[in-house]
Amino acid sequence: METLLLWLFYISTLYAFIPGLISRMFGFRVFRRGKGEHEFALTFDDGPDPVYTPQLLDLLKKYNAKATFFVVGSNAEKNPDIIKRMYDEGHLIGIHNYVHKTNWLMRPGTVKKQILRTDKIIHKITGFNTHYYRPPWGIVNLFDFSRKNDIQIVLWSSMFGDWRYRLGADSLARRMLNKLAPGEIFLLHDCGSTLGANMDAPVHMMMALERVLQAAEEQGLRSIRIDDMIAQSGGAVAGSGSINRSRAAKPVKLSWFKKAVVFLWLLWEKIFHFVFQLKTTNKEDPIFHFRTRTYHGNPVDMRDGSRLEKGDQILELHFDNKKLFEIGSTSKSTVQLAIQMIRAVEKTLPELAQYIIKHPELGEIKALYGVSMINRGPEQFGFTVTDLPQGFFAKSSTAYLKLLMSVIHPAGQQRLKRHSEQLIPKLIVMPINLLLSRFAVSGSHRQITELDNEPTEPALEATISY
């Protein structure tokens, strides 16, 4: 039962929760706000609707406003004439899945089929493919991030609850006018048939929108398509390159909102630690958290000549994500990041050895165990580094750790781009006897001056186990 709960926790965290947080926190692989002096963007989800979308197109035409429509494929299939009109009148058409269903409840292959099917429908009607995608409810999963130049995920900076009819046109207009500013991406809906929406809600949306378009005209603002906003914000349109390709190697500066989301992320980690009863050697300044469990993987030959086999007891290590984030966000270079992480591990291994000696119930533990995204480094402490068996766990670990590395690494996306072939999660193990013989008595006095003088790659990329 515990194993099942653990896997469910892993899957939900890796597949949905963490990607959602990081897309919101850092805008990773998504476009959610533009730049400009006189432009904002109107985007419409869930349509086309045979009644309301033509009326909306009339309104946009009246004010010479361009918009982006993220269409549901099944609705587009039923209303090809409306899709053709959108295209002919100069609006951008994007994808909102074939059916309005969250990506959290679909396998990666199913999401891909939904996108491709909708794109084929749009191409059949207009003769052109689209590269713009908004997942329903803006919920991304782990594998959405693996779509590189073929798909640009587009979220929003402002939404208003316009799917509720009871909100009313006056209240909706006030909300929209308060957010009317250059660079804003408005999320609106031209169809009320989605679960949770009201069928007649677009009536009030269009009444409010006309007031906004009038105000925009008076203020010298104009609504443009998402691809135009991406281009003027300094990014490349999807299909020809990804936006914001480079990220300077400097400490991460967080707004109050991002700090709040980081807090929620770390709260999620605390829940994980509570559910699975993880322990640490230093509650004030933890580096590793750990728990005992039974090993279920392939045999591994370790540094002392012994072999870790299925059924052996292991101490599973989990790097403290708060510490990892602090190190990554304050490091000014990859070398500095590596030095801080090596020193943190160097400090903790003697503490861990003493902990095991003081707890006789851990006498059956055969090895330390973890999963790490690594090039070189743990071997100097006595770890054996080996490949993970091919499969879902290896693939999901790779995707998640690359995602996390792009956030905490000072070189960010540049690091991923230059050395993506090296960013592969590895299994690391150390026999307990080796840990005790090296670190239990006098601790580790290993010097890292050779790393201090190393101008290129860090010794330790990241150590995060699941």
Tens-place pLDDT, residues 424-436: 678 889 999 999 9
* Domain match, 308 and 166 both: no
Torsion angles phi and psi, residue 52, rounded to 5: -85, -35
In angstroms, rounded to a whole number, what is the distance separating the alpha carbons of residues 119 and 110?
Answer: 14
In angstroms, rounded to a whole number, what is the distance separating the alpha carbons of residues 267 and 275?
Answer: 12
* Domain match, 284 and 226 both: no
Q: Does 348 map to a domain?
A: yes
* Domain match, 226 and 275 both: no
Higher pLDDT, 113 or 147: 113
Answer with the one of 232, 266, 296 that is the final residue of a domain.
Answer: 232
The reply to whether omega before 48 is within 30° of 0 (cis) is yes
What residue type is assigned to position 136 of the chain?
Answer: P
Label residue 385 by pLDDT band (50, 70, 90).
confident
How would you classify the pairing of strands 384-387 and 39-45?
Answer: unpaired
In angstroms, rounded to a whole number, what is the distance separating the alpha carbons of residues 317 and 365?
Answer: 13
Higher pLDDT, 344 or 166: 166
What residue type is assigned to position 295 of the chain?
Answer: Y
Place of tokens 């469990």: 293
* Domain match, 414 and 356 both: yes
* Domain match, 77 and 111 both: yes
Q: Does 3 map to a domain?
A: no
Torsion angles phi and psi, residue 175, rounded to 5: -60, -45
pLDDT in tens, 340-349: 777 788 888 8
In angstroms, rounded to a whole number, what is the distance separating the alpha carbons of residues 291 and 6?
Answer: 13
Could you tell me the two tokens for 88? 């002919």
Q: Does 251 map to a domain?
A: no
* Domain match, 222 and 285 both: no
Cα 267 versus chain centre, distance: 17
Asked if the model's pLDDT at residue 156 lies above 70, the reply is yes
In angstroms, rounded to a whole number, what is the distance separating the alpha carbons of residues 13 and 271?
Answer: 12
pLDDT in tens, 42-71: 999 999 999 999 999 999 999 999 999 999
* Domain match, 34 and 181 both: yes
Q: Does 177 map to a domain?
A: yes
SS in 3 state form for 50-89?
A: CCHHHHHHHHHHHCCCCEEEEECHHHHHHCHHHHHHHHHC
Asked if residue 34 lies in contact with residue 233, where contact means CB atoms within 8 angstroms, the answer is yes
The closest alpha carbon to 120, from 85, 69, 74, belongs to 74
Q: Does 2 map to a domain?
A: no
Cα 57 versus chain centre, distance: 34
Q: Does 249 map to a domain?
A: no
Answer with the one of 232, 265, 298 that is the final residue of a domain.
Answer: 232
* Domain match, 87 and 146 both: yes
Higher pLDDT, 324 or 334: 324
* Domain match, 288 and 220 both: no
In angstroms, rounded to a whole number, what is the distance separating the alpha carbons of residues 192 and 378?
Answer: 56
* Domain match, 264 and 330 both: yes
Place of tokens 């230059």: 418
Q: What is the CATH number of the domain that holds 136?
A: 3.20.20.370
Give me the number of domains the chain comprises. Answer: 2
Label residue 236 by pLDDT band (50, 70, 90).
low
Label residue 410 by pLDDT band (50, 70, 90).
very low
* Domain match, 268 and 353 both: yes
Torsion angles phi and psi, residue 339, rounded to 5: -60, -45
* Domain match, 185 and 305 both: no
The closest alpha carbon to 242, from 183, 154, 157, 158, belongs to 154
Answer with the one of 188, 217, 232 that is the final residue of a domain.
Answer: 232
Q: Does 218 map to a domain?
A: yes
The mean predicted confidence, pLDDT, of the chain is: 78
The closest alpha carbon to 331, from 252, 263, 404, belongs to 252
How would you classify the pairing of strands 425-431 and 365-373?
Answer: antiparallel
The terminus-to-terminus CA distance of the chain in angstroms comes to 17
Using CA atoms in the order 332, 335, 340, 345, what is the torsion angle rounded to 10 degrees? 150
Q: Does 11 map to a domain?
A: no
Residue 187 belongs to what domain range?
30-232
pLDDT at 82: 98
Locate all alpha helices (DSSP H) within 39-188, ordered by sequence: 52-62, 73-78, 80-88, 108-126, 169-179
Using CA atoms in the order 395, 372, 27, 108, what is the torsion angle rounded to 10 degrees? 10
pLDDT at 342: 76
The closest alpha carbon to 315, from 460, 434, 432, 463, belongs to 432
Show which residues are catalytic: 45, 189
pLDDT at 121: 97
